[in-house]
Amino acid sequence: MDYQFTEDEEAYRQELRRFATKVLAPHYQSDDKAAKLRPELVRDMANMGLTGLRIPEAYGGQEASAVIAGMAAEEVGRGDFNATYLIIVSALISDVLVRHATDEQKAQWLPPIATGDVIPALCVTEPGHGTDAAQLELRAVPDGDGWKLTGEKTSITLGMDAHTGLILARTGAKGARGVSAFYVDLDERYVTRTPFDDLGSRSIGRASLHFNELPVRPDQLVGEEGDGFVSVMQGFDYSRAIIGLSCLGAAQTSLDEATQWCRDRESFGRPIGAFQGVSFPLAEYATYVRGARHVCYEALWKKDSDLEHSSEAAMAKFWAPKLSAEVIHQCLLTFGHLAYSTESPLGQRLRDVIGLEIGDGTAQVSKLIISRNMLGRAYAP
């Protein structure tokens, strides 16, 4: 078992860290205050190849492994947690399209994602169906040889800025097998966007999308009719580990800052790190972060090795965001009153990572997946 990145992987990781520190981090707080996606961010991410990580080289992408995509999310998360959404969403959608789209569809759809010319959004959640996505109600009504989409999707990441959407819609009877996937332009003539005023991650434009008979051509169907739910859910199995690493990146940089503060700050004539009550909580969380990181990379390694990884991905998804919120909270307390100011990024990181305790699968769903893998479905909830 090899716990070390290769020489090339380590060099890439260091390049990403410099990029996150010099290019992304200076805008992290100002983008939050502006509460909008900065076009330069998309361009900078695309120029680094981060919007095309999982896209084959033949379509202008990096053809990176799942492990590399996770590494990228972790390093970007150290500088600008919200920039990782461009990695998470593009990687998940690209992976679905690579596996299920035709060659003609790939040639049309993937290059603009890789170059950052197109921002895609994943449209699954609805007002009445989040966790129970197999029961979604947005309908694809037959219209000639195509369809028209009518209904609402909500809590859509990048919803205010996305040009295209991978949309799950009902084409058949109730249940998962009645759901199909479509990749379409979010035509403003048929789609109304309503922004959320969020606690955190305000720059990513989370929104509700209202579809009013959006026309869909037959060549915009991804895979076979009725296979959409299964194809998208399979993608979640590894994207959840990438989510975990993006959160851990924010947690790790907070730990690094708190550790240095423990060296620099003095109280009662000694560095505050010399007091067990200050240093021991950080030592404990450093241990937990390392453990969670290994779970995330194990899931991604298994993905790359074509091994079953749903349980590890679920572990990564419920543990890493929760742990990251706890770590950042403790780091904020370590700094004391200085970190309670909005001039410190710690408060924003705390608000931001909490969002991924909710999005892309709750902790309860993750534990359900884990328990079924442990016990077998007949003996689990």
In 138-248, beta strands by DSSP E = 139-143, 146-156, 164-170, 179-185, 191-195, 207-216, 221-222
Q: Are 55 and 114 in contact (CB under 8 A)?
A: yes
- State both tokens at 26: 């200076």
The packing angle between helices 66-79 and 228-264, to 10°, is 40
Residues 197, 265 share a domain: no
Q: How does DSSP classify residue 171?
A: -
- The residues near 160 (Cβ < 8 Å, ≥ 6 apart) are 36, 37, 193, 195, 205, 206, 207
Q: What are phi and psi of 161, to 5 degrees?
A: -120, -10
The pLDDT, as a whole number, for residue 220 is 97
Residues 369, 236 share a domain: yes
- Let me know the angle formed at the C-alpha of 124 by 235 and 168, rounded to the nearest 5 degrees: 85
- State both tokens at 346: 């710690």
Residue 119 buriedness (CB in 10 A; 0-12 / 13-18 / 19+): buried
Residue 2 lies in a domain: no
Report the DSSP pairing between strands 266-267 and 270-271.
antiparallel
pLDDT digits (tens, 9 = 90+) for 45-60: 999 999 999 999 999 9
Last residue within a domain, chosen from 197, 226, 255: 226
Q: Are 151 and 211 in contact (CB under 8 A)?
A: yes
- State both tokens at 219: 């060549």
Residue 113: CATH number of its domain: 1.10.540.10
Residues 105, 133 share a domain: no
Residues 80, 171 share a domain: no
Q: Is 80 exceeded by the pLDDT of residue 172?
A: yes
Residue 23 lies in a domain: yes
Least confident stretch, 8-22, 192-206, 219-233:
219-233
Residues 356, 245 share a domain: yes
Residues 370, 274 share a domain: yes
Domain enclosing residue 219, as ranges: 121-226
Structural domain count of the chain: 3
Residues 339, 364 share a domain: yes
What pTM did the predictor assign? 0.95
The pLDDT, as a whole number, for residue 134 is 75
Residue 156 lies in a domain: yes
Q: Which residue in the block uniquely carries the two structure tokens 């084959």?
A: 56
Residue 108 lies in a domain: yes
User: Average pLDDT in the 191-213 region?
Assistant: 97
Last residue within a domain, chosen from 226, 259, 284: 226
Residues 19, 145 share a domain: no
